């Protein structure tokens, strides 16, 4: 197989790293890639949004399968364009990608088909939104309707915070068009987990669960980010809850989309809140989570290339997934100031080698005349295995200490929720 991966972040580095291990893979390309990806695949200087150039490249290089990493090209219809040319591609169509591209669309589908989620209202008028927030009170969740790189969500504990979020999104246009409309949701209490599944239109096969850490600082404080770390499995998430999420959420949403005339193929990410009455949907994404991919894919023993090809061909029922028993934990090293303004071009030094037990996934890096430098807000994802979450955490942070760049910021408490629960004697 000749495979093209689209994207340039930690998720794409993980996909390339995992695909490289598949025996069927003869040639591997990534557009545009990053410095870490360049050691595993041929990086192609085409931006992920330049769909015409990507189609042309896939045709010229006789690409057997294209794997789309980020959400923006999916919303721009890259899958539709590839399919029109008879090119095999992994990812949902533009219509299906609206499940992530519009919070309101996702909520309305869930409401229509009885898929458990929090109550909501959507608004494009600032004054009406403000009136509703004051009517229902806090805590409450304010979301930009469109794509905002994982940062368009405010969990407001007070009315003051809720009003500030509306002002930022709707009046100050902090997220551009994404915040033209907002979705105001019921605040759900419980434990948040990520459950991804492969979907070939009809069949839904879950991956192992993970837990992401969105806020920038320890103790879940500070602004939301694209993700500051993750771990898998989630020891305090029972198999019963996973089964419930499959039968009440993931399988029903795939069926609901079929009913709406939307044939979903690709990865479906469900951000779930495990409440006292069961799992409820916080959000859907239409691609691999990042950094969740950096802990889930390394634990997958099944070769990835034939698995993704089976999804794109509607043959997922023929595949069986096997998993490493060890736990995996990822810590994100970010640039100073992230998720707000941050500098690029910061020199990176230290032990960046990959091994079977420790992986350094590049999220925002490039090479220049001085060597390896930062090229994004999230710079590196340090992933390590361990017999349990506690050991995986020790191994990941020990490896992180071997890497340096000026102003590096990272959370020190990734995985603590799992270790606290296990210490209390709760296990799967």
With a cut of 60, say whether residue 366 has pLDDT above it.
Answer: yes
**Encoding tokens for residue 64?**
């057997």
Query: What is the share, in percent, of the chain residues with pLDDT greater than 70?
Result: 98
Q: What is the mean pLDDT of residues 167-190?
A: 92
Q: What is the mean pLDDT of residues 117-126?
A: 95
Distance between CA atoms of residues 147 and 72, nearest Å: 8
pLDDT at 319: 81
pLDDT at 421: 57
Inter-residue contact 75 to 285 (CB < 8 Å): no
Instruction: State the DSSP H helix or E strand holding residue 3, giving kind and residue range, or none if neither.
Output: strand 2-7
**Encoding tokens for residue 201?**
């239109």
Inter-residue contact 355 to 377 (CB < 8 Å): no
Distance between CA atoms of residues 263 and 266, nearest Å: 10
With a cut of 90, say whether residue 281 has pLDDT above it.
Answer: yes
Q: Is the peptide bond before 139 cis (omega within 30 degrees of 0)?
A: yes
What does pTM read for this prediction?
Answer: 0.94
With a cut of 70, say whether residue 137 has pLDDT above it.
Answer: yes
Q: Which residues are registered as beta bridge partners of 160?
A: none
With a cut of 90, say whether residue 188 has pLDDT above it.
Answer: yes
Each residue's pLDDT tens digit, 213-245: 999 999 999 988 999 999 999 998 999 999 999
* Sequence spans of domains, the chain: 2-93, 119-186
- Residue 367 has φ and ψ, to the nearest 5°, of -110, 135
Report the range of poorest mean pLDDT among 12-21, 148-157, 392-401.
148-157
With a cut of 80, say whether residue 424 has pLDDT above it.
Answer: no
Helix (H, G, I), strand (E, B) or coil at 385: strand
> With bands split at pLDDT 50, 70 and 90, how would you rate the model's confidence at 147?
confident
Distance between CA atoms of residues 121 and 129, nearest Å: 9
Tracing tokens 């996934």 back to the chain, one arrives at 361
CATH hierarchy code of domain 2-93: 3.40.50.20
pLDDT at 426: 44
CATH hierarchy code of domain 119-186: 3.30.1490.20
* Helices and strands, counts by H and E, the chain: 14, 24
Each residue's pLDDT tens digit, 27-78: 999 999 999 999 999 999 999 999 999 999 999 999 999 999 999 999 999 9
> With bands split at pLDDT 50, 70 and 90, how would you rate the model's confidence at 317?
confident
Each residue's pLDDT tens digit, 318-327: 788 999 999 9
> Which one, of 39, 48, 36, lies nearest residue 365 by Cα?
36
Pairing of strands 327-334, 349-350: unpaired
Report the range of poorest mean pLDDT among 262-271, 299-308, 318-327, 395-404.
318-327
pLDDT at 428: 40
pLDDT at 179: 87
> With bands split at pLDDT 50, 70 and 90, how would you rate the model's confidence at 427?
very low
């Amino acid at each position: 197989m000749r495979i093209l991966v689209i994207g340039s972040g930690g998720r794409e580095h993980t996909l390339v790293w995992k695909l490289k291990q598949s025996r069927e893979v003869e040639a591997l390309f990534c557009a545009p890639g990053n410095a870490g990806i360049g050691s595993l695949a041929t990086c192609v200087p085409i931006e992920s949004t330049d769909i015409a150039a990507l189609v042309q490249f896939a045709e010229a290089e006789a690409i057997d399968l294209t794997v789309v990493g980020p959400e923006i090209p999916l919303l721009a219809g890259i899958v539709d364009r590839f399919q029109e040319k008879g090119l095999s591609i992994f990812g949902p169509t533009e219509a299906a990608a609206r499940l992530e591209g519009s919070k309101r669309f996702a909520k309305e589908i869930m409401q229509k088909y009885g898929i458990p989620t929090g109550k909501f209202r959507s608004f494009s008028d600032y004054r009406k939104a403000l009136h509703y927030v004051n009517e229902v009170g806090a805590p409450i969740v304010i979301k930009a309707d469109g794509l905002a790189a994982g940062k368009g969500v405010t969990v407001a504990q007070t009315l003051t915070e809720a009003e500030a979020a509306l002002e930022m999104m709707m009046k100050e246009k902090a997220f551009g068009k994404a915040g033209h409309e907002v979705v105001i949701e019921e605040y759900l209490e419980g434990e948040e987990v990520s459950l991804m599944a492969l979907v070939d239109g009809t069949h839904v096969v879950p991956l192992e669960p993970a837990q992401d850490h969105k806020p920038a600082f320890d103790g879940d404080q500070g602004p939301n980010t694209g993700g500051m770390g993750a771990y898998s499995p989630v020891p305090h998430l029972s198999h019963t809850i996973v089964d419930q999420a499959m039968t009440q959420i993931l399988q029903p949403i795939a069926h609901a989309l079929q009913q709406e005339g939307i044939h979903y193929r690709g990865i479906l990410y469900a951000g779930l809140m495990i409440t006292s009455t069961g799992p409820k949907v916080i959000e859907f994404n239409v691609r691999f989570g990042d950094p969740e991919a950096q802990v889930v894919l390394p634990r997958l023993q099944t070769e990835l290339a034939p698995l993704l090809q089976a999804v794109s061909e509607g043959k997922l029922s023929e595949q069986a997934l096997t998993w490493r028993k060890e736990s995996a934990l990822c810590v994100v090293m970010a640039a100073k100031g992230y998720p707000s303004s941050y500098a690029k071009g910061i020199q990176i030094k230290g032990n960046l080698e990959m091994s079977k037990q420790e992986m350094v996934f590049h999220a925002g890096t490039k090479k220049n005349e001085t060597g390896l430098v930062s090229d994004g807000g999230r710079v590196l994802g340090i992933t390590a295995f361990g017999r349990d979450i506690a050991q995986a955490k020790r191994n990941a942070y020990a490896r992180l200490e071997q890497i340096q760049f000026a102003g590096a910021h990272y959370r020190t408490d990734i995985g603590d929720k799992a270790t606290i629960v296990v210490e209390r004697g709760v296990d799967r």
